[in-house]
């Protein structure tokens, strides 16, 4: 078999290097969040970037036992007591475009709008209005907006303020705020959600759209491990009973 190529980890009998940095130096002096940043970006973050990246991971960490990823992990833990890996993995499998993964779609939308503004030689705010109008015309959702629990997601404004204070807010934050203004202009009052805020900031930190899902997963795993631990500590196996209504074919003979 051809060797696999990688630019992430190198090692010998007595060393491990992550992106070229000796792991013992990273362990002594770096934070876990900056190593995650390093693994993805091939450079360590500045202080401001590190602060913001920590905030973003904390914002993704957990959103309650009933969030689809957490509930899926707990349900798997309820039936499969012997594998902690299995329960955490099940939780991750519930993360997709509609849950936690909308960041990737929003980053795609940001890219489209920023490029659209450039091509038209115009402003992001105008491109955002065109984007919203086209979405409405075709009955599509604007990614990064709307939440089933929060009227105002408390995480969003904190993230945007931190991004501004650190001088990191750029076209990503501008575009999401422009979409927010465009939606209000068109009388659609739905709040920016955490996926939208994450996408804006990951964009301004220079991450590609796939990071919208991958970084969310890295953050959410913190909560998933705690949810699974709690299920094991506090609950009996098989405790979860889902109420079911059957509305299918009546009894029939073979």
Question: What is the DSSP code (8-state) at residue 8?
Answer: S
The Cα 52–Cα 210 span in angstroms is 19
Nearer CB in complex with a copy of itself: 7/121: 7
Confirm or reject binding of residue 71 to a copy of itself (CB under 8 A): yes
Q: Considering Cα of 53, then 59, then 61, then 67, what sign does the dihedral take?
A: negative
- For a copy of itself, the closer CB: 24 or 133: 24
Closer to a copy of itself at the Cβ: 126 or 230?
Answer: 230
- Return the number of the residue (100 or 178) whose C-beta is nearest a copy of itself: 100
Q: Is residue 54 within 8 Å of 158, Cβ to Cβ?
A: no
123-162 b/e (C-beta count within 10 Å ≥ 16 → b): ebbebbbebbeebeeeeeebbbbbbeeeeebebbeebbeb
DSSP 8-state symbol, 166: T
Indicate which single residue of 103, 114, 124, 155 sits in contact with a copy of itself (rule: CB under 8 A): 155
Residues in 84-103 at the binding interface with a copy of itself, rule: CB under 8 A? 84-90, 92-101
**Binding residues for a copy of itself restricted to 20-39, rule: CB under 8 A:** 20-33, 35-36, 39
* Nearest C-alpha neighbor of 97 from the set 201, 8, 210: 210
Number of amino acids touching a copy of itself (CB under 8 A): 128
Q: Which is nearer to a copy of itself, 5 or 121 (CB)?
A: 5
Among positions 165-224, residues that touch a copy of itself (CB under 8 A) are 208, 210-211, 213-215, 217-219, 221-223
């Amino acid at each position: 078999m051809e060797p696999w190529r990688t630019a992430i980890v190198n090692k010998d009998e007595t060393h491990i290097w992550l992106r070229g940095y000796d792991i013992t130096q990273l362990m002594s002096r770096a934070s876990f969040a900056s190593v995650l940043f390093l693994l993805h970006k091939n450079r360590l973050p500045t202080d401001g970037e590190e602060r913001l990246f920590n905030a973003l991971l904390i914002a993704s960490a957990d959103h309650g036992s009933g969030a689809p990823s957490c509930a899926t992990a707990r349900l798997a833990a309820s039936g499969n007591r012997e594998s902690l890996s299995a329960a955490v993995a099940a939780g991750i499998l519930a993360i997709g475009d509609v849950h936690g993964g909308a960041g990737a779609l929003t980053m795609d939308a940001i890219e489209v709008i920023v490029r659209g503004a450039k091509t038209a030689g115009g402003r992001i705010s105008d491109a955002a209005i065109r984007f919203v109008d086209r979405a409405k015309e075709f009955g599509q959702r604007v990614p990064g907006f709307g939440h089933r629990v929060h009227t105002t997601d408390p995480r969003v404004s904190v993230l945007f303020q931190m991004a501004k204070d650190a001088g990191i807010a750029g076209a990503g934050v501008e575009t999401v705020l422009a979409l927010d203004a465009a939606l209000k202009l068109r009388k659609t009052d739905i709040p920016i959600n955490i996926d939208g805020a994450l996408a804006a900031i990951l964009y301004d930190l220079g991450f590609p759209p796939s990071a919208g899902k991958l970084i969310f997963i890295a953050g959410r795993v913190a909560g998933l491990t705690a949810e699974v631990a709690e299920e094991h500590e506090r609950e009996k196996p098989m405790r979860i009973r889902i109420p079911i209504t059957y509305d299918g074919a009546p009894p029939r003979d073979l």
